[in-house]
Chain A
Amino acid sequence: MTGTATPILELRDVVTCYGRIQALKGVSLSVMPGEIVTIIGANGAGKSTTLMTICGITPPQSGAVFYQGQRISGLSPDLLPSRGLCQVPEGRRIFPRLTVRENLEMGAFFRRDKDGVQRDLEHVFSLFPVLRERRRQRGGTLSGGEQQMLAIGRALMGRPRMLLLDEPSLGLAPLIVRHIFSIIERINKQEGVTILLVEQNANLALQLASRAYVMETGRVTMEDDARALLANEAIKKAYLGE
């Protein structure tokens, strides 16, 4: 691990259930400020559930989530964005009948600093110029890649200190994926936003991240430097398609 001693995000032995199904069976992980950490794993491993549990959408049955040293498990999810914890969820979840601009404004819903919001809107438009062109269009009419940009832009409107990203590359053409990953890197390097990235595309994710967790059926089965995992034979076979 790098940086200061206290993690910005920590999960301790988190168990989360859907009805009687245990989706997370005791997950522990931690992310240090400024890091890019990735979670990789097969379908149904519990990656999205981990992010939703962090955000309070599916509260843990036992165990706890700490953010900036404070316990956040049990808090109502709508209190987290104002603390700097934002998520770009799986499937993007654009508000389909709000315009692009309204979607972005909703990302800043909790903020009262109108000038700051306006500046951040310009910033998002400069990161993703296509969104400026489409600002009056309904979110639901955007292409998949544009929706992903909008979802990231919407999260950035909340000025996050920590961003959770769930499969930003899903269903996108390689060129767009590269663009989106370069933006993620830029958000991390230039704006100092800590990133927890869930990815199916393990190759890309491990190249971007400094550390990684591997999940299998509700458990963390491996944790290492991203580079070490890229070279790991078992990982190569299971997740890198080699």
Chain B
Amino acid sequence: MEFFIQQVINGLTLGGLYALIALGYTMVYGIIQLINFAHGEFFAAGGYMGVILLSFLAAHGYMETHPWFCLFGALLLTMGYCAMLAMAVEKVAYKPLRYASRLSVLLSALGMSIFLQNGLMLTQGVYDKAYPTEFTHGGLDFGLITFSYMQILIVAVTIALLLGLNALVFRTRIGTAMRATAQDKVMSSLVGINSNRIISTTFAIGAALAAAAGIMIGLYYGSVRYDMGFVPGIKAFAAAVLGGIGNITGAMVGGLIIGMVEIFAAGYLSSEYKDVWAFIILIAVLYFMPTGIMGENVDDTRV
């Protein structure tokens, strides 16, 4: 029983992180019908920016004195950095192809992914980089189950970001303009919405969420590597497809399901195959219900 509950917690933690990444895929798809293959690299960039900032803070002793304050600061800076990176990528690799065929943009995205991953490898090296996690040990003990503070932090930040995004997209003027642009670009420009700016903002938000996931994965597993964007990127993509690509609530639910399945399969079946499940789900969804669980008519929260 304890094992089960512990697995649920782990599944929620991991699933929440997948959800954060999946949102970037789904939002960008919703607005320009592009599967942004470079999206996983924003996650990796976030993981690296996090380790660079936190190592710097640790080296100067701030991690020892104010560990949680440092974590939040690094989180915000990393999100901001990746948001700008994504806007630059969009401007360079996608905007010039706005009226080109979908295949051209897709290829450009693939190229961008390779470029960013290699950039990370060349500047940061091929070896794992360790997060300074020794200052944030400890946790809450409930008898046989323990929540590490880090896990609590990750879950809390994830929930806050997911709620914040929902509020942004469905309650604010900019969020409404994002949805309007996704639904009809000609009409949205006829009411005065600058679609380029909206598209750029969408990339920025998606990348900021992925960056938050990147730094939190780094903290969770204790290290990052230059190619860390690939596998979680595909799993999050599977989550977005599972939820119904373009659907925001779908991406969140899809992420949680993929995370849960992965943790439970690893815990009760075999951890050797833990990366396989997302692919199996992806293929099954594409085969049996390509519109996903939240597709078209169920609780329509498409952008």
On A, residues with C-beta under 8 Å from B are: 55, 57, 76-82, 86-87, 89, 93, 95-98, 102, 105-107, 109-110, 138, 154, 158
Which of B61-69, B186-194, B278-286, B287-295 has 4 or more CB atoms under 8 Å from chain A? B186-194
CB pairs A–B below 8 angstroms (19 shown): A55-B190, A57-B189, A80-B192, A81-B191, A81-B192, A86-B191, A89-B187, A93-B186, A97-B179, A98-B179, A98-B180, A106-B188, A106-B191, A109-B192, A110-B191, A110-B192, A138-B300, A154-B191, A158-B192
Contacts of B194 in A (CB 8 A): 76, 78
On B, residues with C-beta under 8 Å from A are: 173, 176-177, 179-180, 183-184, 186-195, 300, 302
By the criterion CB–CB under 8 Å, are A57 and B179 in contact?
Answer: no
Contacts of A78 in B (CB 8 A): 189, 192-195
**Least distance between B31 CB and chain A CB atoms (Å):** 13
- Centre residue among B187, B189, B300 by max chain A CB count within 10 A: B187
Given A81-B192, A89-B187, 4 additional A-B pairs, CB 8 A = A78-B193, A80-B192, A97-B183, A97-B300
Contacts of A82 in B (CB 8 A): 192
> Given A89-B187, A95-B187, A105 and B192 touching (CB < 8 A)?
no
**Least distance between B70 CB and chain A CB atoms (Å):** 38
Contacts of A89 in B (CB 8 A): 186-187, 190
- Centre residue among B177, B179, B184, B192 by max chain A CB count within 10 A: B192
Main secondary structure of the interface of B (DSSP, over half): helix
By the criterion CB–CB under 8 Å, are B192 and A98 in contact?
Answer: no
By the criterion CB–CB under 8 Å, are A97 and B302 in contact?
Answer: yes
Contacts of A158 in B (CB 8 A): 191-192
**Least distance between A118 CB and chain B CB atoms (Å):** 13
**Least distance between B248 CB and chain A CB atoms (Å):** 12
> Given A97-B302, A98-B183, A105 and B190 touching (CB < 8 A)?
no
CA–CA, A76 to B300, complex, Å?
A: 32
By the criterion CB–CB under 8 Å, are B187 and A107 in contact?
Answer: no
By the criterion CB–CB under 8 Å, are B184 and A95 in contact?
Answer: yes
Contacts of B302 in A (CB 8 A): 97
By the criterion CB–CB under 8 Å, are A93 and B187 in contact?
Answer: yes
CA–CA, A152 to B149, complex, Å?
A: 55
By the criterion CB–CB under 8 Å, are B184 and A93 in contact?
Answer: yes
Contacts of B193 in A (CB 8 A): 78, 106, 109
In the A-B complex, list the 10 residue pairs whose CB atoms are closest, starting with the nearest. Answer: A81-B192, A110-B192, A93-B187, A77-B189, A78-B189, A78-B194, A95-B183, A95-B180, A109-B192, A78-B192
**Least distance between B302 CB and chain A CB atoms (Å):** 6
**Least distance between A97 CB and chain B CB atoms (Å):** 6
By the criterion CB–CB under 8 Å, are A77 and B177 in contact?
Answer: no
CA–CA, A35 to B188, complex, Å?
A: 27
**Least distance between B169 CB and chain A CB atoms (Å):** 12
CA–CA, A107 to B195, complex, Å?
A: 15
By the criterion CB–CB under 8 Å, are A109 and B190 in contact?
Answer: no
CA–CA, A224 to B283, complex, Å?
A: 64
In the complex, what residue of chain A is closest to B302 when comparing beta carbons?
A: A97
CA–CA, A93 to B190, complex, Å?
A: 10
A106 contact from B176, B186, B300, Cβ within 8 A: B176
By the criterion CB–CB under 8 Å, are A96 and B183 in contact?
Answer: yes
